[in-house]
Amino acid sequence: MEIKRDRGGSLMQKGYLQKVLQKFNINSDAKFVSTPLAPYFKLNAIVSPTSIEECEYMIHVSYASAISSLIYAMMCTRPDLSQAVSMVSRYMHDHDSDHWEAIKWIIYIFNLGYWI
């Protein structure tokens, strides 16, 4: 965490958040989003991987690691992510590719260019 001393004073996690983007292979110029979670994400526990290919894909997804990275960022300097992180963390036990897309959407918000 960086502490920038100026008239406004600010805390920044730019380095950490860039490492999160790299860790989950998300290109830092991949998308630009302005909301922590899009309204079209309808997440529920009933949805589980339906095909063999999706099951194999989800085995290699580090969902819990992504959630913990988001929680750390949320607790330290990004309280604006709290509702979205709460939504996706409910499905740690049974998640599919839609849940993973929601996680990536939340991580995309790191691309905004401002750091709280």
pLDDT digits (tens, 9 = 90+) for 66-108: 899 889 888 887 888 888 898 888 888 778 788 888 888 888 7
Q: Residue 28 is part of which domain span?
A: 2-112
Cβ atoms within 10 Å, residue 16: 18
The pLDDT of residue 113 = 46
| Domain total in the chain | 1
Long-range contacts, 28-35 (Cβ 8 Å, 24+): 28/110, 28/111, 29/111, 30/108, 30/111, 31/108, 31/111, 32/108, 32/111, 32/112, 33/105, 33/108, 33/109, 33/111, 33/112, 34/109, 34/112, 35/109
CA angle 101, 60, 81 (to 5 degrees): 35
Digit-coded pLDDT (tens) for 22-71: 888 776 555 566 667 777 677 776 666 677 887 777 777 788 888 998 89
